[in-house]
Homo-oligomer: A and B are copies of this chain.
Amino acid sequence: MSETTETAAKAADDKRKKVPQNRSKHEAALIHAAAVLFRKQGYAATGTAEILKRSGAPRGSLYYYFPEGKEAIGAAALEAASKVATRTFRELAGSAESPAGFVQAYASLLAGWMEKSDYTDGCPVATTVLETVPHSDLITPVAKASFNHWQRAVSDMLLSHDWPRARVRATATLILSAFEGALITARVEKSSRPILDTADELSVLLKR
């Protein structure tokens, strides 16, 4: 039986029976709630009780889906956030007509997000990373992979615009580091200025 058929059958079942499929209903909610809270207030400052409350899941479900506890949900939240960022990088890279254009587009996006959250958000990865790497064995590898994916995405973008091969790695690193840092500064300054200034100067470099 193919997967799609099975899914269809299950969906049909759900309609027939009053009580719906509960599988994974709470799992996704837990990851999402954790990601939001960790990004806003940090890993250690966020208690499991708060995650539970926001997700609507009972305590039992947390330890059912994440037997290793808080660290495991931290890793899951990090991975989810990282994937979103990677996808965004790839999409922007596809539509940008130059490295400078890419940087400007990403800066606009970040500035919009920060403004929308009234500068209470930040990089979802940085917050957790600074509190857990390297001592958490569950989170550290996820963080490493996340930065690797980002680095590859930006490198590919540069290569597709014929950026000098010898500089691709360093340039990609600078772009990522600069935005990572600009997010911190923007939060403290409660302004998008650092993000936009950073992008402008990066553009000068990238236009050569």
Contacts and interface: CB of A to CB of B under 8 A. Distances in A.
Number of copies: 2
- Which of A147, A170, A193 gathers most chain B CB within 10 Å? A170
Interface in A65-83: none
A201 interface: yes
B133 A187 contact: yes
Interface stretch (A53-61, A94-102, A118-126): A118-126
A202 interface: yes
A138 interface: no
A89 interface: no
A202 B178 CA distance: 10
B170 A200 contact: yes
Interface string A138-161: 001001100100000000000000
Interface of A: 41-45, 119-120, 122, 126-127, 129-131, 133-135, 140, 143-144, 147, 167, 169-171, 173-174, 176-182, 184-185, 187-190, 193-194, 197-198, 200-202, 204-205, 208
